[in-house]
Amino acid sequence: AFESDMSNTNLMNSDISNSDFTESDFSSTNLFSSIAKETILTNVEMTKSNLSYVDFSYSDLSNSNLRNSYMAGTKLIGTNLSGTDLGLSDLQFADLTGAVFDGKTVWIGIQWYYTICPDGTNSGESRDCF
């Protein structure tokens, strides 16, 4: 496992694909428009981070804390979100097609707006994915 303190870091437009950041701290980090495909981000702290337009496709974000993060336009296609706290995050225009989640995944207080839901439907203007 790889542990890093990346908190309060500007990683905008970075490519961290195929990396292992298990148990790392990315809180208050700017990852805007970065690529993180097939990346291991289990048990990671990402609260209050700018994760908008990040491509997390097929990554493992299980048991991570993404609470109160800005994730507009983020790709979470096929991403493992089991046990992940997404509470109070902004998921407007995000794509969660095929995302994996469980009963421990926190969806409370999320901003949904034209979000593609895990089942492929679109939340539109007035509903959520669940």
pLDDT of residue 1: 45
pLDDT of residue 3: 80
pTM of the model as a whole:
0.95
pLDDT of residue 6: 94
Burial class (CB in 10 A: 0-12, 13-18, 19+), 130: exposed
Q: Which of 46, 92, 47, 89 is nearest to 72 (CA)?
A: 92
pLDDT of residue 2: 55
Residues of the chain with pLDDT under 70: 1-2
Query: CB of 30 within 8 A of CB of 49?
Result: yes
| Fold topology of 1-130 | Pectate Lyase C-like (2.160.20)
Domain ranges of the chain: 1-130
